[in-house]
Every structure is written in structure tokens, then in C-alpha cells.
Chains A and B, each alone.
Chain A
């Protein structure tokens, strides 16, 4: 149980275009999902917390107009990187929080974005 999927697993796009990444909890309902970014050899950086049916909460320094998050249902959250630039190239990972007593987070496999 507690499987989280992400799509696509990798994507290459041209500078200035937008890319959408989907995150799905496959076998549990997730009222809260998290989006992280990880650069090579660095630790996870939380970008935003996404609650179903409400606006996402962004971490300081993360542009909400550039990284659009939609949490449309209890099993799906999407991250859209708008007007992508090469510096947005990174490993984007979502996680979903289980509705259990201790609220474990389960991670998706990640999406590797390369902006050329």
C-alpha cells in the first residue's frame, strides 16, 4: 500500500515553455501533498504544501506564479512550471501524506526536468 506515482518520469523542454507534472496517490486518499525540488548532491527543498480544494502554501522564495499547483482531488495534485528556464532544471518530487494517526509521507518516484 501507500503508492504514489508521478508522471512524467523525465521531461526535456525548451526555455520559455510550460511543463505539467502529475502526482497521484494510487491506493489511499491524500488530503495533503507536498512538492519538493532537489538539485544534484543537495538535500530536499520543500517548495509548497498542497491541500485538496484549497490554495497551495508556498515556501519562502518560491514564486507561486511560476510554480502553479492544483490539488483537484484527494488523489491528484499537479505542478506546472511556467515559462521554464534552464535554472529550473532539477529533480521534482511529490509526496502524499497518509490519513493515518502519524501522517507518514510517501514519495513519488520523481520527475527529472531538463530545460534547454
Chain B
């Protein structure tokens, strides 16, 4: 069974610090990787996608992918209290299978 694992947290960081969120996956055939942010009581929102090894930066967010280690991470620079949410890692294979991790709860302390 294909699995996506995340530390459930909560991960607490002070305002202005870098938050580092990690995700591992079991299926070596995985092709696309996504990070979603979900505020309490709301639906997930796509914030980053990454498809090839290395780093991808978008504003304060950087996604890092290492397919050999089956590892994807999300860095949030200059963390703000508004970044406090649950971050979901999602992995897609060659087909339609799209597996979500359980999410990591991030708390940015003012």
C-alpha cells in the first residue's frame, strides 16, 4: 500500500524563523509532489508543487525534493502567525492515485 508519512506535530516556531516541514513516501514510482495548507475548518489550498529533484522557490516557500531518498520538504521563511495551519503533503503516481499524508500542524508563535 502506498504511504505518505508526516510528523503530526505540532511544530512550533517563533515568528520570523524558518519552519521546516518534512514528508516521506513509499512509492518510488511517484511523479508529482504537492504541498497544501489547510486552516482549521477550511478546505486545503495548493501552495506548492514540485516534480523534479532539487529546490523550487515561490516567495517565502521553498519545496525540496529528493527522489532517491523518497523525501520532500517545505521550508517557510520569515514565518508569520498567519502561517499557522496544517500542512498536507500529497504524492501522485503515474496514474490517478493521489495520496495525502496525515498533515503536520504548524504553530507560529508571535
A and B co-occur in one complex? yes
Query: Using a CB–CB distance below 8 Å, which chain B residues touch chain A?
Result: 31-32, 34, 36, 41-46, 49, 51, 88, 90, 92, 96, 98, 100-103
- Among A96-116, those with CB < 8 Å from B are 97, 102-110
**Also in contact, A107 and B98, with CB within 8 A (given A102-B32, A102-B51):** no
The reply to whether B96 and A32 form a contact with Cβ atoms under 8 Å apart is yes
A–B complex contacts, Cβ < 8 Å, 8 sampled: A2-B46, A34-B98, A44-B44, A44-B100, A102-B32, A105-B34, A107-B46, A108-B43
Task: Tell me which residues across on chain A come within 8 A of B96, comparing CB atoms.
Answer: 32, 49, 97
A103 to B95, CA, bound (A): 10
The reply to whether A43 and B88 form a contact with Cβ atoms under 8 Å apart is yes
Task: Tell me which residues across on chain A come within 8 A of B41, comparing CB atoms.
Answer: 91
A76: Cβ under 8 A from any B Cβ: no
Q: How many A-B residue pairs have CB under 8 A?
A: 45
Closest to A2 in B: B46
Query: Using a CB–CB distance below 8 Å, which chain A residues touch chain B?
Result: 2, 32, 34, 43-44, 46, 49, 91, 93, 97, 102-110
**Also in contact, A105 and B90, with CB within 8 A (given A34-B98, A43-B100, A43-B102):** yes
The reply to whether A107 and B45 form a contact with Cβ atoms under 8 Å apart is yes
A91 to B40, CA, bound (A): 11
Of B41, B43, B51, B98, most buried by chain A (CB within 10 Å of CB) is B43
A18 to chain B, nearest CB (A): 23
Task: Tell me which residues across on chain A come within 8 A of B103, comparing CB atoms.
Answer: 43
